[in-house]
Structure formats: C-alpha cells, structure tokens
Amino acid sequence: MPVPLKVRPGQALLAVSALLMGCGSAGYAVDSATSACRQNPLYCATVAGEEAVVPTAIRGGAEAATLWVLTRQTRSDIEQALVECVEWANAEVNLQRFGGKSPSRAQCQEELPGTDPCGKKVTRAMQLGREKHSLARQCTETKLGGLIPGRFSLEQRYRHDSQTGQKQLVSREEARVLRQQGCGDELEGTLVPDVVIHSGNPLEVLAIYDFKFPCPFSNDPTWNKYPEGHPYYGSTQGRMYREVFQVGPHLVAPIWRVIRWVESL
C-alpha cells in the first residue's frame, strides 16, 4: 500500500523505482520517449517525469493525438511556484492576524463564535487554513497561468465511480446547488485536490499537489483521515488521490516545502 513519506527540511529524499526501467532514463529525448512510451504514455509520463509529444491511439488507433507530459525542469518550476505561493500566503495571513508571528497551539485550538453553514464548530486553525488556502490559490493561478497555461486546474472536484473506475468533473455551479440542497451530502465521496497538473484535459492527470498549513507550525503536514461513516472511512485524502488518479500526490507546506509521496516496497 502506498504511504506518504515526510522529509524534514534539509534532508535528501532518494526514491528508486524499478518502474522507471520501462521508460528509460529521466533524460531521454523526444524520439526515445515516443518509442519507449508509445503504448502507455500517461504511465510513462507519471513515472519518468518527461515532457514530450507522444502519439497515442484514439478509438481504435485510426487517428493520432498528442499528449503533453512533464519534464523534470517543468516539474521543478511548478513546485518552486507552489512553494513560493504557500510561503507567501502563510506569511501574509500571519502578518494580518498576529503581527507577523506564528499562532500558538492555544490560539490554533481556540473555538470561534458561531458555526459553519452546516452547524459545525470552527476553530482558529480552520479559519486560518481557509484564509491561507484562498491566498495560495490566487497566487498559484497567476504563477501557473504564466508557466503552463491551460494545463492545470485549481480545486477541481471529481466524482469517482468505484465500480467502473470512471471519473467525472463536477462544476462549481453543480457543487453550489448541491450544497444548498443539504450541506453537500450528494458531494460526499467526491475528491477536490488543490492543484491538478494535466495534459490539457483535467481527466488526464499528471500530478497532484495539496496545500497544508499546519497550526501550530510545529505540527506535521498530513492528509486528513476520513471520519467514520464516510465512504472512504479508514483511508486518507492522499491514498484516495493515489488510487483514483494513479499518480503519487504531494503536499506543499510552509517551511517543509514539497513533501513527496513514494510507493512502499
């Protein structure tokens, strides 16, 4: 079973995968990428981290299409942009709320007056997380819009059929209407990654990133566990991303930068 591996700042992470053997080295050129990954370009794009134009079969192979996939440099540029955005959002909200200091554990655990629209209590940590996510999202939209226009989605909601393995996009308008009808019960079981990098089609996912803003900052960034009664009870967001989208999702957090997902041996 895949498990997230957290590496503290300054530590190196070395992950060796035998799967890479099927697609050659990370530095192969367009011609070799086409040859090695013709049969399954999405798989090789995910594993090898290449960017190339790879012919793929469409509806029986009568036509040819192109698939955009990631180079190591492009992935690095994307991740640098995401790190800059979460660190800026974290600093900005802390400046507004605490004069630039990080909130204490007691401040993070403080319950705020009132409840959310579904009647649940809201803590200071939850409020801060929402504010920081909002700023990070705005920053990411600007940075990735200049870097990889048309090849990313932010907070795109997906509905997944566990029986068929099929995925569907859920629009913001549909989600809004369903929430109004009963706090979004019909949305239970949908998945909403913060950042999806894709081929140009949001259903062809190449990489996933989630923003995390631990409160207090000494907490480890982690994916939330699903509560009892939820369709995914016993799992986490990260594991469901891996199962549904077939890519190793990563966390992005202030100080920690990018926390990578690796397959267990």
For 109-138, write each residue's pLDDT tens digit. Answer: 999 988 776 678 899 999 999 999 999 999
Q: What is the pTM of this model?
A: 0.73
| In the predicted structure, residue 42 carries a pLDDT above the cut 90 | no
| In the predicted structure, residue 59 carries a pLDDT above the cut 60 | no
Using N-to-C axis directions, what is the helix angle for 124-147 and 72-98, rounded to 10°? Answer: 140
Of 156, 125, 118, which is closest to residue 140 (Cα–Cα)?
Answer: 156
| In the predicted structure, residue 227 carries a pLDDT above the cut 70 | yes
- What are the extents of the domains in the chain? 3-156+193-262
Task: Report d(CA 26, CA 33) in Å as an integer.
Answer: 10
Expressed in angstroms, the distance from the first to the final Cα of the chain is 9
Mean of the pLDDT values across residues 76-90?
A: 97
For 174-202, write each residue's pLDDT tens digit. Answer: 777 766 655 556 677 789 999 999 999 99
Query: Would you list the DSSP string of 182-232?
Result: TTTGGGTT-B--SEEEESSSTTSEEEEEEE---SSTTSPP-PPBPPTTSTT
- Two structure tokens written together for 11: 């530590």
Q: Contact 164/117 with Cβ under 8 angstroms?
A: no
Residue owning tokens 């705005």: 138
Q: What is the pLDDT of residue 185?
A: 60
Phi, then psi, of 150 in degrees rounded to 5: 80, 0
Q: What is the pLDDT of residue 33?
A: 38
Task: Report d(CA 51, CA 67) in Å as an integer.
Answer: 9
Task: Report d(CA 203, CA 61) in Å as an integer.
Answer: 20
| In the predicted structure, residue 28 carries a pLDDT above the cut 50 | no
220 pLDDT tier (thresholds 50, 70, 90): very high
Strands 205-211 and 250-253 come out as parallel
| In the predicted structure, residue 145 carries a pLDDT above the cut 50 | yes
Task: Report d(CA 241, CA 232) in Å as an integer.
Answer: 11
Percent of the chain with pLDDT over 90: 51
Of 61, 63, 17, which is closest to residue 39 (Cα–Cα)?
Answer: 61
